[in-house]
Amino acid sequence: MILAVLLLAVVPAPAAPQVDELELLLDAIRVVETGGEPDGGRDALGDQGRSLGPFQIQRSYWLDSGVPGSWEDCREASYARRVVHAYWRRYAPQAYDRADAQVLARVHNGGPAGARSQRTLAYWAKVEREIVRVRGAHSQPIAERAQARGPDRVAHAPVGVARPRPGTEGMLGR
């Protein structure tokens, strides 16, 4: 009994995700996915009708999230945010706990293995530019801050690789 009490005192509780960072990331993703659409992208359709709402969520993404409701509910920003959070917690829990914007954005764009896919790098560059724009020109890019946090990050492209080659922006078709 005493040993159990001592172990509980020594083992730190899991860190809660940095809510402000995640909300900033979601705002940036919404702008990249549907910026300029009326009503914050509520009626936006993409991928020949396979993606909808402010975060351009596909039916399979919604199903994987496990959030009760219907796919059409993803048109509502608050519901769609819950879907994205659930998807991230399922497929990138460590990145979610660290609020690792690069990994989470790339998983959102490329699916469960999106953080390891070269094709999500241009998407991440767009999201990162939007985050930096919102924070201001003097803000340190998220990738640099994440790199400074240490070596416990999940494997993905190094910071210098996250920039698309000139003239390749927008090649993901989003």
pLDDT in tens, the chain (174 residues): 554 544 444 555 445 557 789 999 999 999 999 987 888 899 999 999 999 999 999 999 999 999 999 999 999 999 999 999 999 999 999 999 999 999 999 999 999 999 999 999 999 999 999 999 988 844 555 555 445 444 433 333 333 333 343 443 433 333
The widest CA-to-CA distance across the chain, in whole angstroms, is 64
Cβ distance 6 to 134 under 8 Å? no
Residue 157 lies in a domain: yes
Contacts by 49-52 with C-beta closer than 8 Å and gap 24+?
none
Report the pLDDT value the prediction gives residue 16, as an integer from 0 to 100: 54
CA distance 138 to 150: 22
Residue 95 lies in a domain: yes
Residue 7 lies in a domain: no
Instruction: Give bridge partners of residue 46 from the DSSP assignment.
Output: 51
How far separated are the first and last CA of the chain, in Å rounded?
A: 57
Cβ distance 83 to 67 under 8 Å? yes
Residue 174 lies in a domain: no
Count how many domains the chain has.
1
Residue 1 lies in a domain: no
CATH number at residue 111: 1.10.530.10
Q: How far is CA 104 from CA 5, 24, 57, 124, in A?
A: 36, 12, 14, 9
CA distance 75 to 83: 11
Residue type, 41: G
Half-sphere exposure of 41 (CA within 13 A, CB side): 25
Alpha-carbon dihedral sign for residues 35, 144, 139, 164: negative
Residue 64 lies in a domain: yes
Segment (H or E) for 45:
strand 45-46
Residue 22 lies in a domain: yes
Of the candidates 52, 51, 87, 53, the residue with the CA atom closest to the CA atom of residue 67: 87
Parent domain of 139: 16-162
Report the pLDDT value the prediction gives residue 38, as an integer from 0 to 100: 80
3-class SS of residue 53? coil
